[in-house]
């Protein structure tokens, strides 16, 4: 219980100040009427019958009908219009507002009808007779449209969200279904869509409460390990900063409490903090198991270089009395490893000589320094790696330093024939550790692409990739990588060659893909790949399937529902044919 209360206190307080600050400048409309309709394909909101629109300053405009274009951020109230506020009590035929221009237009009634213009929410000074836009009182034609949401009220946070109350009806699969509340987010700020959940096969989100800078959403989720469950997330957005808090799942005893805080200090400096508390408890009682993970990232621009700091802190157990031993899941019961890495990467540059030869070759290079520490000892390779504490050749390493250098060279797509192009990429990374060893990773790939001139035809890709990984321990090579039995027999047969593995591996992968996107509402991606890995994979023991076929289909059912279905076939490797589960993702 105390962990849950702590999580709620921290998450509630974290965004309090930004929320209060933005409320002083945010403009909103509380709309009530006999019926309120939202047309999702055009981002238009309408209302009819005893319409009442209350502005953020308290001014109320009443009339017979209302229409607002959410994207253009303009609205209109017409028919028997009454405007009442601290400094205005007027009757007219129509009232139109252009908040982005700070203009309100009013058609006054009386012996001689007139057009008045108000600047912003200052209703003390009507500028009578001023010229007004010709379409200021234009109603869009929606006669052939069907509303996506039907309600009797809505709260509009201009240029951000529209919140509909509980009982509003949502159109899904031809039927209007009642909701516990629903929020339409039409903001151009992508930070409203940040995700704090782990992956699931199926996720249906229902945003049920919102404000200009916040959205609360419930989720119905499914995966093959936990089955069906519910989750919750809370989003806060302030300009380019955001915070996301989530509980996943809500309805099971093993829960994850996640928090993501992002702040952009300037275009050249940003920070991000991720915190996760995993707890096993019956309801909200004191947990019988709890661990945390914290990640902090800072990225900046220094001249022509991108400089980053990445830090991780793990606490494998928060419970009193945790002992230094391995849990069944492979975690150390009392470990608390910490690591931090400083990295520097150059921006993209180009070899000018190759440009003159007609083959543009670009490159980037990177380097950095790392620090790893755990007072209980850092896991290492070799026979001593399973000891408590872990040791390498009798020495326990509580701290390991590392440095690394990397270089990447790649070409742009080079046209070699009509609709046919080729590109290549090569990357090499070398790392040195205070634990006496170093690693070298080399990855080289080429891609041949056929791009049609029409989207009605599919595109084809053929790629070949060679990946080499080497972990060099010198005279201690066999201590770090003890030989496996050279002959392994299991239910899938007898296999040899694994005993030759001593820290060096090569993977050659040939893959072919077809990408077909004839419309924005449908996409099909088919990929067949063959991986030749040395040492060879052993079914039921180690390695992945040599042959793999993957299919991904994306279908947009409506403006608000996108379905992504994936599945893989493994050609009977370890008796595996199709992957056990479909991957199905519902998203906006």
pLDDT band at 241 (very low <50, low <70, confident <90, very high): very high
**pLDDT confidence of residue 227:** 85
Model-level pTM? Answer: 0.79
Name the residue with tokens 């070899």.
351
Which secondary structure element, helix H or strand E, spans residue 311, and what is its range? strand 305-315
Alpha-carbon distances, residue 136 vs 47, 60, 94, 123, 484 (angstroms): 18, 19, 10, 18, 79
Whether the pLDDT of residue 573 is over 70: the answer is yes
**Pairwise CA distance, residues 379 & 333, whole Å:** 13
pLDDT in tens, 527-555: 999 999 988 888 877 778 899 999 999 88
Question: Higher confidence at residue 164 or residue 14?
Answer: 164
Q: State the distance between the two ends of the chain, measured CA to CA, in whole angstroms.
A: 34
Is residue 99 classed as helix, strand or coil in its secondary structure?
A: helix
- Residue pair 122/140 in contact by the 8 Å Cβ criterion: no
Mean pLDDT for 108-125 is 85
pLDDT value of residue 199: 74
Structure confidence at residue 3 (pLDDT): 43
CA-based diameter of the chain, in Å?
A: 103
Element holding 7 (H helix, E strand):
helix 2-14
**pLDDT computed for residue 246 by the predictor:** 94
Residue at token pair 């994306």: 554
Query: Which tens digit of pLDDT belongs to each residue from 396-436?
Result: 999 999 999 999 999 988 888 888 999 999 999 999 999 99
Q: Which of 5-14, 70-79, 365-374, 561-570 has the lowest mean pLDDT?
A: 5-14
Min mean pLDDT across 343-352, 484-493, 500-509 is at 484-493
Helix (H, G, I), strand (E, B), or coil: what is residue 13?
A: helix
The Cα 104–Cα 113 span in angstroms is: 17
Per-residue pLDDT for 346 more than 50?
A: yes
CA distances from 455 to 130, 412, 517 (A): 50, 22, 6
The Cα–Cα gap between 36 and 153 comes to 6
Tokens encoding 241: 């900063």
Structure-token match 């992968």, residue found? 509
CATH numbers and ranges of domains, the chain: 30-150 (2.60.450.10)
Percentage of the chain beyond pLDDT 90 is 51
Encode pLDDT of 291-331 as tens digits: 899 999 999 999 999 999 999 999 888 887 766 666 555 55
User: Does residue 17 have a pLDDT over 70?
Assistant: no
How do residues 93-105 score in pLDDT, each as one tens digit?
A: 999 999 888 899 9
Go through 247-261 and write b for each residue having 16 or more CB atoms within 10 A of its CB, e for each that does not: bbbeeeeebbbbbbb
Interval 462-485 mean pLDDT: 92
Cβ-based burial of 466 (10 A; exposed 0-12, middle 13-18, buried ≥19): middle
Going by C-alpha positions, the residue among 124, 90, 119, 125 that lies closest to residue 102 is 119
The answer to whether residue 14 scores a pLDDT higher than 70 is no
Residue burial 73-111, b: 16+ Cβ < 10 Å; e: rest: bbbbbbeebebebeebebebebbbbbbeeebbbbbbeee
Q: CA-CA distance, 58 to 86, in Å (whole number)?
A: 8
């Amino acid at each position: 219980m105390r962990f849950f209360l702590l999580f709620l206190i921290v998450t509630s307080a974290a965004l309090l100040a930004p929320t209060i600050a933005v409320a002083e400048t945010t403009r909103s409309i509380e709309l009530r009427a006999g019926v309120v309709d939202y047309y999702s394909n055009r981002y238009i909101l309408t209302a009819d019958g005893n319409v009442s629109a209350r502005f953020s300053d308290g001014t109320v405009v009443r009339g017979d009908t209302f229409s607002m274009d959410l994207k253009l951020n303009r609205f209109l109230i017409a028919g028997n219009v009454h405007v009442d506020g601290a400094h205005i009590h007027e009757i007219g035929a129509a009232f139109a507002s252009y908040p982005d221009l700070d203009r309100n237009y009013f058609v006054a009634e009386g012996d001689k009808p007139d057009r008045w213009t108000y600047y912003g929410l200052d209703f003390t000074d009507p500028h009578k007779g001023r010229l007004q836009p010709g379409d200021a009182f234009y109603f869009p034609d929606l006669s052939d449209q069907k509303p996506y949401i039907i309600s009797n009220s809505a709260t509009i946070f201009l240029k951000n969200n529209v919140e509909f109350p509980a009982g509003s009806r949502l159109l899904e699969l031809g039927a209007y279904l009642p909701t516990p509340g629903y929020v339409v987010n039409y903001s151009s700020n992508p930070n409203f869509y940040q995700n704090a959940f782990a992956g699931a096969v199926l996720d249906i989100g229902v945003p049920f409460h919102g404000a200009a800078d916040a959205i609360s959403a419930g989720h119905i989720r499914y995966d093959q390990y936990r089955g069906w469950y519910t989750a919750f997330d809370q989003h806060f957005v302030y300009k380019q900063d955001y915070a996301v808090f989530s509980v996943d799942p809500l309805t099971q005893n093993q829960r994850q409490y996640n928090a993501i805080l992002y702040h952009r200090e300037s275009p050249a400096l940003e920070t991000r903090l991720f915190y996760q508390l995993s707890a096993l408890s019956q309801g909200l009682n004191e947990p019988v198991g709890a661990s945390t993970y914290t990640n902090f990232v800072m990225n900046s621009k220094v001249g022509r270089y991108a400089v980053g700091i990445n830090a991780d802190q793990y606490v494998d157990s928060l419970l009193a009395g945790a002992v230094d031993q391995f849990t069944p899941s492979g975690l150390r019961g009392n470990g608390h490893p910490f690591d931090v890495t400083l990295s520097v990467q150059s921006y993209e540059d180009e070899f000018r000589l190759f440009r003159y030869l007609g083959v543009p070759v670009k490159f980037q290079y990177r380097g950095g320094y790392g620090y790893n520490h755990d007072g209980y000892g850092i896991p290492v390779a070799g026979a001593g790696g399973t000891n408590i504490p872990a040791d390498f050749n009798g020495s326990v390493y509580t701290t390991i330093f590392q440095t690394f250098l990397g270089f990447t060279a790649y070409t742009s797509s080079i046209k070699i024939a009509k609709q046919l192009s080729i590109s290549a990429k090569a990357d090499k990374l070398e790392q040195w550790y205070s634990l006496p060893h170093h690693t070298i990773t080399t990855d080289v790939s080429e891609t041949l692409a056929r791009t049609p001139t029409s989207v009605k035809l599919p595109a084809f890709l053929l790629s070949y990739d060679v990946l080499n990984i080497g972990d060099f321990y010198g005279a201690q090579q066999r201590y770090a990588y003890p030989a496996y039995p050279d002959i392994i027999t299991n239910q899938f047969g007898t296999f040899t060659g694994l005993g030759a593995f001593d820290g060096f591996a090569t993977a050659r992968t040939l893959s072919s893909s077809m990408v077909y996107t004839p419309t924005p509402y449908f996409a099909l991606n088919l990929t067949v790949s063959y991986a030749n890995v040395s040492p060879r994979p052993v079914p039921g023991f180690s390695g992945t399937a040599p042959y793999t076929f993957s299919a991904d289909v994306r279908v947009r059912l409506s403006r608000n529902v996108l379905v992504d279905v994936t599945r893989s076939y493994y050609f009977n490797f370890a008796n595996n044919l199709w992957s056990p589960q479909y991957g199905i993702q519902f998203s906006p």
